[in-house]
Amino acid sequence: MSPAKRHEMFARLRAANPNPTTELAWSSPFELLVAVILSAQMTDKGVNAATAKLFPVANTPQAIAALGLDGLLPYLRTINFCNTKAANVLATCTALLERHGGEVPRDREALESLPGVGRKTANVVLNTVFREPAMAVDTHIFRVANRTGLAPGEDVREVEDRLLKVVPAEFLLDAHHWLILHGRYVCKARTPECWRCEIRDLCAYRPKTPDPAATVPPPRAKAVAKKQASRVRTVAKVVRSRAGAPARRRKEQA
């Protein structure tokens, strides 16, 4: 994809959604950190359902640490791998209290040293909370970057590095959110909804998915349907003829 197309792509995404943000519910850096730790192999909706019950009770490292594992687990029962994630959240709370005064650090190395926090989680926090030009490449962004030709790569790190290099500077802070939302709701994995895509003419993906409401059956399908309809009419005519045969014979005998 050319620099001009990349600029136009993000200009359109910005016009459609001027203020993109994460769909995870949070009101503090710590809440977002916990939500992202819980979000692995989960939908944002599923995470929000769990944190809506947890955060009113405990939304600080001190409060969650005080719950302990037995107190925390009931709030996370609907979360995939809840035992592992609960243990990571508690260990992260301890690390924050012991090493960072209970605050979420703004440093990548410090973030990635926390239990349950990898590069992607650190990127989400750095970008969303601290407005750093970080790119958290998940399955949606990886797909969109490759499918559109924006930043092709064999793995998430390669795609991340290319995105940071090719996304125009004026769009970089919000590019992560635009790409993930576009992948989640438009450029879907199984069937991309190309017919309603703002950037379909800029995208390298072929063939484009047609609008289901406007799809016209191909000529062969029409011919087959016509032939089948003819057969149905013929069979129906034969059935009617056979059904009337006894009556005609009785009439002739009379």
Q: 5: domain CATH number?
A: 1.10.340.30
Count helices and strands in the chain by DSSP H and E runs: 11, 0
* Cα radius of gyration (the chain): 29
Query: Inter-axis angle of helices 172-185 and 3-16, to 10 degrees?
Result: 70
- For residue 217, pLDDT beyond 90: no
To the query of whether residue 70 is one of the catalytic residues in this protein, the response is no
Tokens read off for 43: 């939908």
Rounded mean pLDDT, 75-97: 96
| pLDDT at residue 221 in the model | 52
Where does the pLDDT of residue 225 fall: very low under 50, low under 70, confident under 90, or very high at 90 and above? low
Percent share of the chain, pLDDT over 70: 84
- Answer whether residue 133 shows pLDDT above 70: yes
Q: Are residues 69 and 157 in the same domain?
A: yes
Q: How crowded is residue 41: how many other Cβ atoms within 10 Å of its Cβ?
A: 9
Q: Is residue 153 located within the same domain as residue 221?
A: no
Examine residue 207 and say whether the peptide bond preceding it is cis (omega within 30 degrees of 0): yes
Give yes or no: residues 131 and 228 share one domain: no
Give me the residue label for tokens 């600029």: 7
Asked if residue 152 and residue 186 are part of one domain, the reply reads yes
Residue 221 tokens, joined: 């399908």
- pLDDT tier at 150 (50, 70, 90 boundaries)? very high
pLDDT on residue 193 = 94
Q: Are 37 and 117 in contact (CB under 8 A)?
A: yes
Q: What are phi and psi of 192, to 5 degrees?
A: -65, 135
74 shares its domain with 35:
yes
Catalytic residue among 5, 70, 85, 138: 138
Q: Please tell me the pTM assigned to this model.
A: 0.78
Q: What gap in Å lies between CA 250 and CA 42, rounded to an integer?
A: 75
Residues 251 and 172 in one domain: no
- How would residue 173 be classed by pLDDT, with cut points 50, 70 and 90? very high
The fraction of the chain above a pLDDT of 90, given in percent, is 79
**Residue among 5, 44, 45, 120 flagged as catalytic:** 120
Taking the C-alpha atoms of residue 198 and residue 254, their distance in angstroms, rounded to an integer, is 77
Which of the residue ranges 95-99, 222-226, 247-251 has the most confident prediction, judged by mean pLDDT?
95-99
pLDDT tier, 207 (very low <50, low <70, confident <90, very high otherwise):
confident
**Is 208 tagged catalytic?**
no
Lowest-pLDDT choice from 1-5, 28-32, 131-135, 221-225 = 221-225
What is the average per-residue pLDDT within 228-234? 65
Are 117 and 135 members of one domain? Answer: yes
Domain that holds residue 189: 1-214
Please indicate, yes or no, whether residues 64 and 108 belong to a single structural domain of this protein. yes
- Average pLDDT score over residue span 78-85: 95
Q: Are residues 249 and 209 in the same domain?
A: no
234-249 as b/e: b if 16+ CB within 10 A? eeeeeeeeeeeeeeee
Reported as a pLDDT band with limits 50, 70 and 90, residue 247 is: low
In a shared domain, residues 92 and 140 = yes
> Is pLDDT above 60 for 82?
yes
**Which class for 1: exposed (0-12), middle (13-18), buried (19 or more C-beta within 10 A)?**
middle
For the chain, what is the domain count?
A: 2
Q: Are residues 73 and 149 in the same domain?
A: yes
Residues 146 and 209 in one domain: yes
